[in-house]
Every structure is written in structure tokens, then in C-alpha cells.
Amino acid sequence: MSAVFKSGIAIGVLAMALLSQSAHAQKTIKMTAFAGHPPVFPWVKLLDDYFIPEVDKRLAAAGGKVKIEWNRAYGGTLVKLGSESTALKDGLGEIGFVSTIFEAPKFPLQNITYYTPFGTDDISIVAKVITSLQNKIPEMKAAWTKNNAVFLGGTGLDAYHLFTKAPIAKLDDLKGLKINAPGPSANWLKDTGAIAVAGTLQTYYNDIQTGVTSGALTFATGGFPAKIYEVAPNITKVNYGAQFGGALAMNKKVLDRLPKDVQKIFLDVGQDYSEKFNALLTSTTNDLMRKMAAAGAHIREVPPAERKQWASAIPNPAIPWAKDLDAKGLPGTKVLKAYMAEMKANGVEYPRDWSQE
């Protein structure tokens, strides 16, 4: 047998071995993506429509050594709203949307936006500032680590407005009304004469329809899919400001076990998810307002002078919030001052400085 022939055989055997090794090198990992909200809401829809397929696409482009077999569990089918971080911590799922507004005890500092109302309706600025503070203030980042979670990409909610059965022509019209207000947004109604009633997007419609409440504090991208405008067709555009509402997060132990290049894909796509979400929210909000108006909703824009009156009417919610966290060993005052400073540096003008007594 000639040396050339033997060499050819050897090369062929080696190639076959490498191909076989490559074929068997692919690792399939099962992952569950979950959310308490259903996919009609944009933060869940984008997880399904962009994050998952984009991760798959980039893994394939990187050589396909890792493949994800996805299980989707949205709308509370696996985890109820407000329990998402617990599910991540306990390993019930690998990727989840954590609604920090409904998990305030675990993410108190992330809720700073709800204690500084009447800010901007530009969610990209809010998300940018919160992400910046999480990178600068260790205690904010630690809130995720303590829950065995890694922050992938923050999202927010477009500006909150008032949806009511009867029209609100002035601040005094709130007197005696029961209004659904989630979590700390109840502070926005103090001393206005309105009574805040707890609830979520899943409960508002029935609460208003049955007379439990007369309306809700909510936002276009939530109010439209939940059809709040059908039972509360009067929308008073107070503009309480866009709010940081939560983030896409990943089980830390799962992420840490992945190869470094695969980890980077998840982190990069998480950042892109956040940017795409902010762009989607901005483009969607005005369109939904038009759709609600076309469906019969009556929309009143609150002018700046009246908006300042609304902001001045309520007790300052930020100072007590900050001092309470200070007493618990968390940098409440530091976060409050840093947040207001960064928002102002980004061109946001408040009708009231919440960092002042």
C-alpha cells in the first residue's frame, strides 16, 4: 500500500472522527421561560417573539454547540404574578420576567420610580437611569443576586394615566372615588380625596364593571389589552410618568454553568431585548391611545399648570420611602438623590423635586 494511499486513508479517518465528535458535541439544554402575565402584554410578547428566537439564532451562528429546548409558561400557568423571583431562585424555570412592582420587599430600590411620580413619559430614559444606578450602587445589583437571578434587560411601563367611569375635569372630581392603584402608586392618590384599592391588570376590568371601584391608574399598553377603556372610557392623561416595572432575568446557577461564549449571548440578547422593548413601547403607546379613542374613549390631556397642582396636592412619597430604607440599612436617600440627579441630567423636568423635604 503506497504512502500516499495510507495518508489519504488516515486523513479520511481523522475527518470522520472529527465530524462524529462534532455531531456528538452539541448539547441540548431544556429551559423554561415564564411570566405571570400573558403574552398579550408587550414585555411577555417580546420575550416570546424576540428573545427566544434571537438566542436560538445566535447559538446556531456560534457553531451550534449548545441548543435550547424551550418550554413556554406564560399567564400564570407555572408561576403566579408576584412570585417570579421565587420561581427563579428555586429553579422552577430558567428565564423569567420579574415584575419588581409586585415584589417590592425583594426589590425595594428598583421601585424608586413609583415614589417619584410626574416624571417623563419617555421609558427609554427611565430604563437607562435604572440600569445605570444598578451598575453603580451595589445594593441594587445585590437584590438580583440574593434571589439567584441575573438581570438581563430592564423594561418599564408607559406613562400612567387615570381611567374612570365618569369624566375627571379637575382634581376635586376625585373626591370619594375608589380607584384601583397597584402597589406604591396608591401614594399618588393620597390627599386627593380618592381611595386607593389594590389590584392588578387581571382584576381591574371586573372591579370597575361590578362597582368595586370607579376606575384605575394604569397605562395604555396595559389598559388596551385588558380592555379597561370599555368599563372606564374616560382617560385623564395626568402623565404620572413612565415607570420601571420589572426585568427579564435568568437563574444565576444555570447561567454560570454555561460556556462563557453562551453566557455572553444571553446577556447581549437581554440588553437588546431591553432596547427593543423601549422602542416598541414608544411606538405602540400613541397608537393604542388612538385605538381607544376610536372605540369610544374620551381623552383629556392635563395641562402643565394643572399637572403641577396634582403633584403638589399629595404628600411627598419619596422622603419617607428613602428614610425607611435608610433605617433598614439600604441606601434609600442615596438612590433617591442619584435617581433625581440622573433624570434631570437626562433632561427630565419635574413639577416638584421629590428629593427635597
pLDDT score at 47: 96
- CB of 326 within 8 A of CB of 193? no
- CB of 175 within 8 A of CB of 193? yes
Residues 249 and 335 in one domain: no
pTM: 0.85
Residues 132 and 67 in one domain: yes
Q: Which residues, in sequence order, are bridge partners of residue 151?
A: 249
pLDDT score at 254: 96
Per-residue pLDDT tens digits of the chain, which is 357 residues long: 554 444 444 444 444 444 444 445 679 999 999 999 999 888 999 999 999 999 999 999 999 899 999 999 999 999 998 899 999 999 999 999 999 988 989 999 999 999 999 999 999 899 999 999 999 999 999 999 999 999 999 988 999 999 999 999 999 999 999 999 988 899 999 999 999 999 988 899 999 999 999 999 999 988 998 999 999 999 999 999 999 989 999 999 999 999 999 999 999 999 999 999 988 888 889 899 999 999 999 999 999 999 999 999 999 999 999 999 999 999 999 999 999 999 999 999 999 999 997
Our CA angle for 248, 325, 338, nearest 5°, is 70
pLDDT score at 26: 79
87: in domain: yes
pLDDT score at 1: 52
165: in domain: yes
Parallel, antiparallel or unpaired: strands 243-251 and 149-157:
antiparallel
255: in domain: yes
C-alpha grid cell, residue 3: 504512502
Domain of residue 123: give its range.
22-157+244-285
pLDDT score at 200: 87
- CB of 100 within 8 A of CB of 247? yes
- Which ranges in the chain belong to alpha helices (H)? 3-25, 42-46, 52-61, 84-90, 123-136, 138-145, 201-209, 220-223, 228-231, 252-257, 260-294, 304-313, 318-327, 332-345
256: in domain: yes
Q: 204: Cβ–Cβ under 8 A, 6 or more apart, which residues?
A: 180, 213, 216, 218, 226, 228
* Residues 43, 156: Cα–Cα separation, whole Å: 8
11: in domain: no
Cell match 373626591: residue?
Answer: 175
pLDDT score at 283: 85
208: in domain: yes
7: in domain: no
Residues 305 and 186 in one domain: yes
* Residues 320, 174: Cα–Cα separation, whole Å: 24
- CB of 225 within 8 A of CB of 39? no
pLDDT score at 24: 52
Residues 100 and 142 in one domain: yes
